[in-house]
Amino acid sequence: MWSPKTASALRESMARNRTFGALKRSSVVTRVSQPREGPLDGGSPHGGPSVPTRSVRLRPMVLDPVEVLGVPVGRMTTMEAIATVERAALEGAPALVVYVNAHTLNTASKEPAYRRLLGSAAVVLNDGAGLSVAGRLYGKPFPENLNGSDFNPEIARLAARHGWSLFLLGARPGVADRAAERLVTAIPELEIAGTRDGFFERSDDRVVAAQIQDSGADVVMVAMGNPLQERWLAANLASTGARLGVGVGAFFDFTAGEVPRSPRWMNRLGIEWIYRLLQEPRRMWRRYILGNPAFLVRIVAERVKRPARPSERS
């Protein structure tokens, strides 16, 4: 239950960021990146125009990557991943952080533009049991399961250590607010620049990006589901003035208590998907009952089709 003290702290945090937003924006370092095509060129993922003030950096920062269905995924511990995200955020141009799992890569396998988008993100993290199976199959197992539910709070702590403010965009009305309150309760030094739900017309992308820019946010977490959240960030992150954009899926719902998280032991085993399927069978059955076997078929077929590359041998 939210206390008046928690809500007051959140309001004060957002007010501080509105006050200092202009100062933060004036100190942003810009960088010109390589040209892009399709939905990566700064245009709206929904066909509307977008004129970013900066370009999203495309060169991936992945440690010892393994390519899974055409997307290079870093093989990192939590500490290595945080250090990589930190370095990406400090380099100047806004950096995109994505999580890939079986569902994400199934979608990318059918949509080449989305696959290119994922592969060109600054940081690509493995999420879930499907990636663990793929890593072992390709001879390069992932040291940890960097699922977003556990890793996103680490990004929030990183932001707090640097004094970077956070903007939460997405989910149903009110969910981002409650998630922000809980994050501030867990990380008192975290500054919240603002929140907005994900229910807006795609023609309003510019307005939303301008709202984030006006807030002075340094980090933007977007919870719109795959692939919309990654497409939105690829098209609009540069316009927000933020240094870091992260597609976070159901993280706001979990954090706000809208959707219960699976027990820790299921998370450690990488079978959180079973719990989610039991909690939301109507919404999740296609993703897991059909999607997981399809992903296994795809990675086995890819492994059989090509020998292990030098970068994929232990």
Tell me how far apart the alpha carbons of residues 243 and 162 are, in angstroms, rounded to a whole number.
12
DSSP per-residue codes, 73-107: E----HHHHHHHHHHHHHTSS-EEEEEE-HHHHHH
Which H or E run contains 63?
none
Contact 122, 92 (CB under 8 A): no
Q: Is residue 124 part of a domain?
A: yes
pLDDT bin (cut points 50, 70, 90) of residue 11 is low
**Contact yes or no for 19/214 (Cβ under 8 A):** no
Residue 210 lies in a domain: yes
pLDDT for the residue numbered 263? 82
137 in a structural domain: yes
**CA–CA dist 157, 163 (Å, integer):** 10
What total number of domains does the chain contain? 1
- List the domain range (segments joined by +) for residue 156: 4-256
Q: Does 205 fall in a domain?
A: yes
pTM for this predicted structure: 0.80
Q: Mean pLDDT across the stretch 169-192? A: 98
- Domain membership flag for residue 279: no
Lowest mean pLDDT among 16-25, 170-179, 262-271: 16-25
**Rounded mean pLDDT of 93-102?**
96
The DSSP 8-state label assigned to residue 169 in this structure reads E
DSSP annotation of 66:
E
For the record, the structure tokens of 20 come out as: 């200092």
- The two structure tokens encoding residue 117: 């988008």
Question: What region, left, alpha or beta, does residue 241 occupy, with left being phi > 0 and alpha being psi -120 to 50 degrees?
Answer: left
pLDDT for the residue 48? 40
Mean pLDDT computed over 172-177:
98
- Cβ atoms of 300 and 137 closer than 8 Å: yes
Which of the residue ranges 48-57, 65-74, 202-211 would you say has the lowest mean pLDDT?
A: 48-57
Rounded to whole angstroms, how far apart are CA atoms 168 and 178?
A: 10
Residue 198: which of 168, 166, 218, 178 has the closest Cα?
168
Q: How confident is the model at residue 13 (pLDDT cuts 50, 70, 90)?
A: low
Task: Answer yes or no: is 75 within a domain.
Answer: yes
Task: Indicate the helix (H) or strand (E) that contains 293.
Answer: helix 291-305
For residue 299, being part of any structural domain is answered with: no
pLDDT at site 118: 97
Its sign, for the CA torsion 186, 187, 192, 196, is negative
d(CA 91, CA 29): 9
Percent share of the chain, pLDDT over 70: 77
Whether residue 110 is contained in a domain is answered as yes
Task: State the DSSP code for 9.
Answer: H
